[in-house]
Amino acid sequence: MISPEIKKKIIRIVNVFETGTPEGRYEQVTILPDGRNGSRQITYGRSQTTEQGNLRNLVERYVQLQGTYADEFRAFLPKIGVTPLVDNKAFKDLLRNSAKEDPLMRQAQDETFEVLYYQPAHHFFESERFTLPLSMLVIYDSYIHSGSIPPFLRSRYPERTPLRGGDEKAWIRAYTKTRQHWLATHKRRVLHPTVYRTECFLNEMDKDNWGLEKTVLAHGVKVE
């Protein structure tokens, strides 16, 4: 059972990983060479959704909410994820300004990250019969950062999930170590430094902070 307080803490930790603050920087626009075939793309918002991923979904949600900048965004909708906008200053300014000035953009982001990332992660957590808050943190971070719990990573270690008779802590530790090695050796070098995420989780496991009752040091930021 993940309480509302623990859920909030999990989200705040992942916000630190994504934008450096527990609250998340809703207006943050980052350009990274982590798109298809190493292409540059926009990553945006509190938990940094991508131009080639779910950014269009987020903007559509904002337009449906009839935000202040809905009309300006409407012109860009057919292009998001189709035509690269990574060098389009007007679009990037629109992303920043809407998050700074319109609470509906922050609402659209919260709803998008809830529906497209947290809920699928929680479904995996419950369906595979995990119970511990640190397990949920590891799973949610994987959905935010890698889109899922990739099956090809799961195939690289023998541990089984609790649903299949395995030990929860052993599976989570094995998955975290496997993911860390994958990130550290990935052909996209931009992923190599992101092992701070898995290092954080392994440190919390070593501290026996499976319930997340203790303060978590997330990439140098303390999250209570």
Residue 40's CATH number: 1.20.141.10
Dist CA 78 CA 105 (whole Å): 19
Q: What is the pLDDT along the chain (224 residues), one digit of tens a residue?
A: 899 999 999 999 999 999 999 999 999 999 999 889 889 999 999 999 999 999 999 999 999 999 999 999 999 999 999 999 999 999 999 999 999 999 999 999 999 999 999 999 999 999 999 999 999 999 999 999 999 999 999 999 999 999 999 999 999 999 999 999 999 999 888 889 999 999 999 999 999 999 999 999 999 999 99
Residue 151 lies in domain: 4-223
Name the nearest CA neighbour of 137 among 151, 155, 117: 117
Neighbour-count burial of 85, counting CB atoms closer than 10 A to its CB (0-12 exposed, 13-18 middle, 19+ buried): buried
- Pairing between β-strand 41-44 and β-strand 49-50 as defined by DSSP bridges: antiparallel
> To 10 degrees, the CA torsion angle through 49, 143, 61, 27?
-30
Is 105:98 a contact under the CB 8 Å cutoff? Answer: yes
pTM of the model: 0.93
Dist CA 8 CA 115 (whole Å): 15
Which pLDDT tens digit goes with each residue over 72-94? Answer: 999 999 999 999 999 999 999 99
How many domains would you assign to the chain? 1
